[in-house]
Amino acid sequence: MSDPFQKALHATLPMLKKIQHGIKPAPKGSTAALKSLRDAALAKRRITKPAPQSTSGTGATTESRLPAKPAPQNTPGTGVATESRSAAKLPPASRPSAPSGGGRWESLRAEVLACVKCPHLVSSRTQVVFGVGNPAAELLFVGEAPGADEDELGEPFVGMAGQLLTKIIQAMGFERSDIFIANVLKCRPDMPPGKSGNRKPKPAEMATCLPWLGEQIALIKPRVIVALGATATEGLLGETSPLRDLRGRWLEFQGIPVMVTYHPAYLLRNQSLSEKRKVWEDMLLVLEKLEKKITAKQRAFFTKPAA
């Protein structure tokens, strides 16, 4: 007992025995109860734990594969948000609202907006008109070039002809935001000093700009392209035959079916029912190609004057 540690231990032994007697065994079944509580907590955690977010196309979770609503795209210089087709409005067989190629769409937009390949157009333009709508659209409308309104607002087809195009699109059962609209030439053709109005783009100007549209088409992968008017048809396809010979039959760009039809501006100049019907018949062919349901009412548009 000379060791102070042994002495201390000896002194505490009675107390330790009392404590030992005072400790009651765990009630029968409590271990199992604790285990089931822990299992329940773990199960709850598994349920409430958020699903992993996949940022790439591979290994995507069910949630991440759902078509995500893309951020609204601002048309450059206008502050106008052009929202792509929302998931709620998508028909069953429709496509996602994001272009293929990942971030290439936005980098392409940045490159096009900064393009200076045509110095004479760069010095006269207000802004480059990239295009507007759903970058994963199944239907692409192609016009020739921005006019004064488009140059100012940064969006294609916003003048009177654009409003008529919007009506055609809606008669087909789409909204402007469902489809994509672009021009072959992305800068407004310059006008001689002191002259107002718009001029036709030259073939060389369209040829210089066409690769931008080509890349847009490669990313959008539309199922059908509609070329609006003779100039757009020439710029896109190199076809210079009269429009009356080209419209109403299928041509092709990069393997994609192209329907040629009259420019809406032509319909503003020539408001006869027969010309409107021709454009409408072209659009019916487009709807058929897209396998859209066409109502009897739609089929009958422009067959007789509205009552």
Q: Minimum CB separation from ligand SF4 for residue 208, in Å?
A: 5
Name the nearest CA neighbour of 226 among 172, 304, 297. 172
Applying CB under 6 A, the residues found at the interface with ligand SF4 are 112, 115-118, 121-122, 128, 185-187, 208-209, 212
Where b means 16+ CB within 10 Å and e means fewer, 236-267 reads: bbebeeebeebbeeebebeebbbbbbbbbbbb
Closer to ligand SF4 at the Cβ: 182 or 243? 182
Closer to ligand SF4 at the Cβ: 109 or 278? 109
Question: Residue 166 gets which letter from DSSP?
Answer: H
Closer to ligand SF4 at the Cβ: 14 or 192? 192
Closer to ligand SF4 at the Cβ: 98 or 115? 115
Q: Minimum CB separation from ligand SF4 for residue 43, in Å?
A: 58
Name the nearest CA neighbour of 187 among 106, 237, 122, 238. 122
3-state secondary structure of 181: strand
Q: For residue 22, give the H/E element and its range.
A: helix 4-22
3-state secondary structure of 239: coil
Spatial contact of 133 and 84, defined as CB atoms under 8 Å apart = yes
Closer to ligand SF4 at the Cβ: 137 or 185? 185
Q: Minimum CB separation from ligand SF4 for residue 119, in Å?
A: 8
**At residue 138, what is the residue type?**
E
Q: Minimum CB separation from ligand SF4 for residue 108, in Å?
A: 11
Name the nearest CA neighbour of 263 among 226, 299, 300. 226
Closer to ligand SF4 at the Cβ: 213 or 259? 213
Spatial contact of 181 and 133, defined as CB atoms under 8 Å apart = yes
Q: Minimum CB separation from ligand SF4 for residue 204, in Å?
A: 10
Q: Minimum CB separation from ligand SF4 for residue 190, in Å?
A: 10
